[in-house]
């Protein structure tokens, strides 16, 4: 009989918990190119609701993958960028891009 594995301490399970959400890799892909405004992300990703994008951005900020900067100008705007932790996903995105293109 197979032993049940405890996935609580599994690094792969933890990564999938953070990155497995729909559209997460597309957000990271866009931010690897540089800071983006909310509207730019919404347009680039395409089939994503404003609610879902907002939820994913808050989650990624809480996980330390992205940061949000609010500019106090008229009209006010917000810019998102990757943290060092988020930039570490660059190789994974590149590998996915290569694999998906084959």
Q: Which domains does the chain have, with CATH numbers?
A: 9-101 (1.10.10.10)
pTM greater than 0.85 (yes/no): no
For residue 65, list its beta bridge partners: none
- CA dihedral (48, 25, 87, 32) positive or negative: negative
Per-residue pLDDT of the chain (102 residues; tens, 9 = 90+): 444 566 677 888 888 888 887 799 999 999 999 999 999 999 999 889 999 999 999 999 999 999 999 988 888 889 999 999 999 999 999 998 899 888
């Amino acid at each position: 009989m197979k032993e049940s594995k405890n996935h609580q301490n599994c690094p792969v399970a933890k990564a999938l918990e953070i990155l497995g959400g729909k559209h997460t890799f597309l957000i990271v892909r866009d931010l690897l190119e540089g800071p983006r405004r909310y509207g730019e992300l919404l347009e680039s990703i395409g089939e994503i609701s404003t609610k879902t994008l907002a939820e994913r951005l808050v989650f990624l900020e809480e996980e330390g993958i992205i940061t949000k900067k609010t500019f106090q100008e008229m009209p006010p705007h917000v810019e998102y960028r990757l943290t060092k932790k988020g930039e570490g996903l660059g190789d994974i995105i590149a590998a996915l891009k290569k694999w998906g293109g084959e």
